[in-house]
Structure 1
Amino acid sequence: MDIKDKVIIITGASSGIGEATALKLATEGATVVLSARRKDKLNELKKTIETKGGKALVVIADVTKKADMEKLVAKTLEEYGTVHILINNAGLMPLSFVEKLKTDEWEKMVDVNIKGVLNGVAAVLPTLIKNKQGHIVNISSTAAYQYFPGGAVYCATKVAVKMFSEGLRQELAPKYGICVTSIEPGAVATDLMNTITDEDVLDTLAEMQKMTMLEPEDIAEAIYYALTQPSRVNINDVYIMPTEQQ
């Protein structure tokens, strides 16, 4: 599929994988709708995209709020008349050992990593069903398959995203022609690690941080690959590991 002129909503677009994906897809001719909570970062990205000849719209939204996600889709429809693709990228990773009982952080991860995906899908699905085509990309993780220190809750959220994606695919692809892809990266050089407050976890992960990680651009390329397959093809999962990661 050619993504030229496709309207693509990207959550968590202010940095990391979201930012890199927006730049990649805009370069390939897509119209990108940039969403996150950091207005200044989104406006900087919009300016960069437009400087390169691309098209971008900024809509501030918190994925944990249903009304915000409905507003995001409504403003996209108002501006462009439709939505073709949703990339649920927003996520948090404040890892901690369960015994520390950092329950506020657990709840934030569930709200952003799981409920945020549900809210995004709920907001955009009526338009995709009406169009009888489209693509939903959810950012899961290799953590959906393998536990790592401090990751009990985080891994659980990514399992949820993976399985929700598969359920969506089975329900939507045959009936409406809506493709669904779960993107599952290993360690990526983003600012996710900055949300970790458990010093014991940081000490445990110190050795891992010495390896060469994936770059956000690597994940953007994987997303582009999934989006540009023929309509007869659904890329269910893309599992991407750094060469050095076990």
Structure 2
Amino acid sequence: MTEPAPSVTPHSGEPHTGDLAGRLNWLRAGVLGANDGIVSTASIVVGVAGASTSVAAIATAGVAALVGGAVSMALGEYVSVSSQRDSQRAVIEQERRELAEDPAAELEELTQLWQARGLRRSTAELVAAELTERDVLGAHLSAELGIDEDDVVSPWHAAFASAAAFSIGAVLPLLAVLLPPDAARVPVTFVVVLLALALTGAVGARIGGGSKRRATVRVVVGGALALAATFAIGSALGASGVA
């Protein structure tokens, strides 16, 4: 009879859950999605504002950028994650077949994997046998492939999260360019967008464990260049009478 796994009381501040990496990836993807929404939408509305003072034209361009960008992000994420999910399911089914066809060879493979991690042969055999008794498929998926059968990614969740993050980021420059009076519209948008980018850069660096200053400067400079370029192009088109 298999004994139940002992309960583990994690120390304060130490994550013991197995989905930590997955949750960090979701957070990082959310920050990047919001950053994309801020930069792309801000660039479009500032470009239009440089060519025209029409609130209707700016609002139309901004809403179109928000909707189009969110849909594009969702579709891209859905396709990408669907491919990842199909790959995960394929390797899980392959492992299940191998276990059914030759369990002895799979047990030996699991033993050798634990030996490669530094265990003595006798200890590796004991670990492999106990893990196999508890959950043979889970033991092999974890040791060989680093995945969990229950953690197969959902493309619908990924698509929704990506679209939501992009939309949240896109709303900020849209409001920043529409709410102020004509004279302050572009300067206010520049300030709000650059502050928002500084925040997303710092948050992204914190999640990834990188340098906050470097990440913040990178996204702020990139965003400023994008805004300046589109505003200059819009102003030139407006002055020439093309727009």
- TM, length-normalised to structure 2: 0.25
Higher Rg of the two aligned structures: 2
Q: Return the structure number with greater strand share.
A: 1
Greater relative contact order, per chain length (Cα 8 Å cut-off, separation 6+): 2
TM-score, length-normalised on structure 1? Answer: 0.25
